[in-house]
Amino acid sequence: MRWPTSLTRSLAFFRNNVDKLAPRKGDKVVVAMSGGVDSSVVAGLLSREDYDLSAIYMRNWDTRDESGTDNGCEWKKDYADVLRVCKLLDIPCKLVDLSREYWIRVFEPSLAAWESGVTPNPDVWCNREVKFGALMQHITSSTSWIATGHYARKGWSSSLPVPRPQLLRSSDPSKDQTYYLSAIPERSLSRTIFPLGAYTKTEVRQMAHRWELPTADRKESMGICFVGEKRKFEDFIAQYLPPNPGNITELGSGKVVGRHEGLWRFTIGQRARVMSMADKAFVARKDMRKNEIQVVLGTHNPALFSKAIAVKNWSWIWGDSPPPAISETRGMRARVQHRHRMSDVACTEIRTQTSTSSSTSLKTELRKDRLLHFGMESGVWDVARLTRSYSRGSQAVCILFTRTLIADMKPIWTAITD
């Protein structure tokens, strides 16, 4: 019997590179723990393997910068839960303070973006700059691994001489977090494992209860980490950004219908509560030059829909292998997701070049969909290949995936905008 060439090539690939694809017996594996049930179950799963296992808690935010005291700080409660879980599982644990790195690499750029009228995504930046950036530098060597509680999976290319990592969708679509992992560098992704990628949230909770983990019934954390869940975003940001009053006008007529205290208080597409308007008003435009919010009436107003996204200064996780179809005249037919919870819509990806810029841009042509705000992250599915990107500042974002014959999502490229 003669084996298919593709199968023998795949078998040879995995035989020659199996030691690089996943942790082996005795390998050093560090669990990044947050105090929540997900990372606790990751620690529980890996404690049943024969690894040199330890845990680390990453402190990102220093409340002394706000109040001058640590009293009542959430991170202390989180770290206490981490220590309780590690004690039960007999895993050594340490704390690393990355609040300075978070402030410089995530919070300050976010503030600058909000102040300019852009809506950034701090969670994406945190994953790239801190969790899979500064933290990786603290705890990993070329032979060690980091495990996280993200709902995602990872694969490896089997058609290349050297294995390269691929970011895959979670088995639980409702909890998939690859949207927020879009900016992970290739070098970090290659040394990361996602043990929860094959499980649903319900199964994770069941394991936590079965192992009697102290965090089994802990609620999920929501919102931006430095804002927390007990205070309003506007109240928090107001501590750092001074008011910058301007007009709220009706798009088209230019009629002044209200006032705002800063562009950062509004995101394109969100409802704007304007008492003087008869129907519900929604933000359609931000005029940074005039410091003006422009609104329209009704949820189906044409001004709330867009047919294209322009993304500038792309760099790719596989930096030397951008998807070739984007350079073709017809572009790459795909499907795009530009919000965390939404159904994907049809699009075409096309590389563009302007005479006034030396950088490469991508144009995402949509049939018609809700407006995207600057700084938003998007996901795009293609029948042939995958990419992912994220943006900083005023750039928009696109992420492309591959759909295989078994309806799996396999990434080939990841793109990041500067």
In this structure, the dihedral spanned by the alpha carbons of residues 184, 186, 187 and 193, taken in order and rounded to 10 degrees, is 70
Domains 17-210 and 243-299 share a fold: no
The CA-CA-CA angle for residues 199, 205, 211, to 5°, reads 105
* Contact status, residue 167 vs residue 414, Cβ threshold 8 Å: yes
* Residue 326 identity (one-letter amino acid): I
Domain layout of the chain by residue ranges: 17-210, 243-299, 303-417
pLDDT of residue 369: 53
CATH superfamily of 243-299: Adenine nucleotide alpha hydrolases-like domains (2.30.30.280)
Question: What amino acid positions are annotated as catalytic residues?
Answer: 126, 225
Sign, CA torsion 239/241/244/248: negative
pLDDT of residue 377: 52
DSSP code for 5: H
pLDDT of residue 41: 97
| Rg of the chain on CA atoms, in Å | 23
Buried b (16+ CB within 10 A) or exposed e, 55-69: bbbbbbbbbeeeeee
> Which CATH architecture is the domain 303-417 placed in?
Beta Barrel (2.40)
Look at residue 98 and give its three-state secondary structure: coil
List of the chain residues with pLDDT < 50? 1, 3, 6-7, 9-11, 13-14, 68-69, 72, 355-360, 373, 375, 379, 381-418
Residue 83 tokens read as 């220590």
The Cα–Cα gap between 111 and 241 comes to 8
CATH superfamily of 17-210: HUPs (3.40.50.620)
State the burial class of residue 320 (Cβ atoms within 10 Å of its Cβ: 0-12, 13-18, 19+). Answer: exposed
* Contact status, residue 390 vs residue 411, Cβ threshold 8 Å: no
All residues at 6 or more sequence positions from 62 whose CB lies less than 8 Å from its CB, including other chains:
97, 99, 103
pTM of the predicted model, to two decimals?
0.80
pLDDT of residue 394: 29
pLDDT of residue 146: 95
